[in-house]
Structure 1
Amino acid sequence: MALELTAARPYPALLDLPWDVPLEEWPEEILAALPRGISRHVVRFVRLEGRVIAVKEIKADLARREYTMLRNLGRLGQPCVVPVGVVSGRTTAAGEPLDACLLTRHLQFSLPYRAMLSQTLRPDTADRLVDALAVLLVRLHLTGFWWGDVSLSNTLFKRNAGEFAAYLVDAETGELHDSLSDGQREHDLDIARVNIAGELMDLQAGGLIGEDVDPVDVSEQIMTRYRSLWEELTKRERFETGDRWRVEERIRRLNDLGFDVGELDITTDIGGTEIQIQPKVVDAGHHCRRLLRLTGLDVEDNQARRLLNDLDAYRAATDRQNDDEELVAYDWLTKIYEPITRTVPASMRAKLEPAEIFHEVLEHRWYMSERRGEDVTIEEAIVDYVATVLPDKPDEKAVVGVDTESIPVRARTD
């Protein structure tokens, strides 16, 4: 059988990889030592034309199906890894058939949950990861995507201004529908609850989280978080026609959750005395789209919210509330944001994304000001941050780190 390559764009260097060798036996010199999560399949990372590509060994029909699903989710603007291609028709030098490989682009600055929890993080990190997964699940369900295997293992996490943003990694079992029934959504939630509890029990057995953490209680949080967010996004609301300001209030609440209202379904009763409002089309990214429009910075939504707050503070401090917003944003970008992020030495720039560093510098400035009882400039804060905080941060972009497959596992949930 001839080797067959299906790819969204040509990568000539793909042909140089040892496709006639089982993925588990690929030589270390061609691999990138990124942290890996638990997977039922063999997964390896390789450098390819300046990028890091994840290679997953899987049956050919499943690889093609997942490749197509990831492309469809990407077109719908959902947070997921970017598919690169599928390699099938693999055989060993002796002619023995090998499974196909699904290729996806590694998400920079992201980590699997086991690597996140192996670092020294806040005690509530597990709670925040579950919150991020709940937001991801709501987004996917609003699109009509039934996951079928919701878990922390099938998700990557990126820092997002002190919180985390979650990205779908494994779409092998997923199905895309026009919309989901309540039963389909509840099925995904039940799968998530069971899987998360099992994954946290594994971490406890490996000594990565304390005995004071109750895996069952933490896993139950995804049910509460998901349902409250789903209700806010989809519930119908009735009010008097004279209270039309509440339409704006509802939109603001959705924006504060990180969702933008694309369309509203507004109906009145026969007498015209009451109005019903329901967000008909919602999408995430309100803050990051505004920041992108103003500055060209493409960051996570919580990061965008924090940067926009600083931009607004800069506008007020310079008494430019009546100036054109785009001009003020350009001055903030060139006089504040870029000089601060460029202050970081080249040797430390792989530790965090520039937007995350800027967010942490703002936090650091606040703590410095609180200790001193007086305002500290951002220029002074970045110098102190680089000297005292950043050196101890792990390199989240670098191709080094803990291989989380080596952490003891009590029982796999997938």
Structure 2
Amino acid sequence: MSGSLSITSATTDPALLDLPWHLPLEAWPNENIAALPKGISRHLVRFAHLAGHVVAIKETTAEMARGEYEMLRTLQRLEVPCVEPVAVITNRSDAEGDPLKPVLVTRHLRFSLPYRALFSQTLRPDTATRLVDALALLLVRLHIIGFFWGDVSLSNTLFRRDAGAFAAYLVDAETGKLYEGGLSNGQRENDLEIARVNIAGELLDLEAGGRVADELDPVRISNGIVDAYRSLWSELTGSESFSSAERWRINERVSRLNKLGFDIEELAIRTDAQGTTVRIQPKVVDAGHHQRRLLRLTGLDAGENQARRLLNDLDSYRASYGKGELDEEMVAHEWLVRVFEPVVRAIPSELRGKLEPAEVFHQLLEHRWFLAQKAGHDIPLAEAVASYINNVLRHRRDEATVIGPTTGTITTSIDVVPLDTSAVAVVDPDDEDDWRLKV
């Protein structure tokens, strides 16, 4: 390596020095490259192996790389879902001493996929809607902390499965800016219009390539982010007035916010001069209500919807076994040891890259419910686990670090395997709904 390489990183991994920084990114050898699906980017982006994990490397300018690195670190401190910045590398040069472009290095988000890799042959309307809803939630969370994105799109977002829905993570913060005093309505509307136009363009591009279902309307789906965003923003930040005799509506409002996955750190409550009308308004709203409760009770770190589903199973366990009078933490520990951990341990090691444990547990609960519906009675957990592993999980592709399909041609296969003498499981490894049980 010629020249003086400069690495800026909060926690420098010595393995960074082993990568071929003296070569243009497009010329890196296959032994360094990880074959992962990637979205569309204005910059050259490649995935590389680094000390047992995968990083994304983006060629850009030194100023933009440093700015985005610091912004991603700030967003992480604010607990916004985004990729983890690893390093900024400048002063690159080739063997002849000619300068090479600086790069930004971020850690690949395990079990995440760009939107183009989340469907098989065609994108269906319900999947597109779920992606847009996830992006709307991410945009609201960013706007609440005063972050103006400036380039909202599906391509600048990664998605992880979250108990039947999707969780969205910011990937590209290149155009973003954080305002301490919060965003004006005009700034929020500008970001929202950028999102609407970009999503429409991305879906129209897929439509032109024959990659969406006939019934999918790109314009209608892209307009959906406006409705989803405004509804959520109003629920999270809007004021509400009611009679003083209806004080129960305060708890109702808090409960609705909790169901959306948000906590209230401060609630402004005012009455009029006569004391007949009460006005409430959330002041500080924090996302991750169910995630925090699950983490506090069990130590499990999961997506918000996954956490909600696991907590529902925990609460059902507590009720079913008459443990309602026992300490919640004690019951949670018992559930973890007797229910959750045995399921995770039952997954063969070669299948553990298919899905993250919380998503496996969610899908197992769905699978067990379908089996019980077919049989007309409850199915023992061990039987449901064996059926799920053999008839569903084995037929999925790995999502920890997905090897293909890329943004080019995507193929799919369907395996039909018997569940019992009167039912079959139809499994599409790449289908966004994961599986269907059909009689």
TM-score tier (shorter): over 0.9
> Any conservation in 2 of the 1:265–1:280 contact (CA below 8 Å)?
yes
Matches within 5 A, 1:88-99: 88-99=90-101
Q: How far apart in 2 are the matches of 1:378 and 1:274?
A: 52
> Any conservation in 2 of the 1:117–1:208 contact (CA below 8 Å)?
no
Structure 1 position 189 matched with structure 2 position 192: yes
Structure 1 position 225 matched with structure 2 position 228: yes
How many Å apart are 1:406 and its aligned residue? 6.7
Matches within 5 A, 1:45-194: 45-118=47-120, 123-178=125-180, 179-194=182-197
Q: Tell me the residue number matched to 1:410.
A: none
How many Å apart are 1:346 and its aligned residue? 0.9
> Any conservation in 2 of the 1:362–1:378 contact (CA below 8 Å)?
no
Q: Tell me the residue number matched to 2:383.
A: 380
How many Å apart are 1:340 and its aligned residue? 1.1
Relative CO higher for 1 or 2, CA cutoff 8 Å, sep ≥ 6?
1
2:207 to 189, 204, 207: 204
Q: How far apart in 2 are the matches of 1:65 and 1:398?
A: 27
Q: How far apart in 2 are the matches of 1:133 and 1:203?
A: 18
> Any conservation in 1 of the 2:110–2:401 contact (CA below 8 Å)?
no
SS of 2:151's partner is coil
Q: How far apart in 1 are the matches of 2:107 and 2:151?
A: 21
How many Å apart are 1:343 and its aligned residue? 1.0
Q: How far apart in 2 are the matches of 1:354 and 1:128?
A: 22
Q: How far apart in 2 are the matches of 1:203 and 1:76?
A: 34
Query: Which is further off, 315-324 or 262-271?
Result: 262-271
TM-score (norm 2): 0.90
Matched letter for residue 283 of structure 2? K
How many Å apart are 1:123 and its aligned residue? 5.0
Q: Tell me the residue number matched to 1:288.
A: 291
> Any conservation in 1 of the 2:47–2:57 contact (CA below 8 Å)?
yes
Q: Tell me the residue number matched to 1:264.
A: 267
Structure 1 position 352 matched with structure 2 position 355: yes
How many Å apart are 1:325 and its aligned residue? 0.5
Structure 1 position 214 matched with structure 2 position 225: no
Q: How far apart in 2 are the matches of 1:120 and 1:347?
A: 29
How many Å apart are 1:211 and its aligned residue? 2.5
Unaligned runs of 5+ in 1: 408-414
SS of 1:322's partner is coil
SS of 2:8's partner is strand
> Any conservation in 1 of the 2:124–2:212 contact (CA below 8 Å)?
no
Structure 1's 120 and 190: CA in aligned 2 closer, same or farther, altered over 3 A? closer
1:10 to 9, 12, 19: 12
Matched letter for residue 68 of structure 1? E
Q: How far apart in 1 are the matches of 2:125 and 2:196?
A: 20
Query: How many percent identity over aligned positions?
Result: 61
> Any conservation in 2 of the 1:361–1:378 contact (CA below 8 Å)?
no
Q: How far apart in 2 are the matches of 1:399 and 1:229?
A: 32
Q: Tell me the residue number matched to 2:425.
A: none
Size of the aligned set, in residue pairs, is: 407
Matched letter for residue 192 of structure 1? A
Unaligned runs of 5+ in 2: 411-439
Query: Which is further off, 260-269 or 23-32?
Result: 260-269
Matches within 5 A, 1:310-389: 310-389=313-392
TM-score (norm 1): 0.96
How many Å apart are 1:281 and its aligned residue? 0.3
Matched letter for residue 162 of structure 1? G
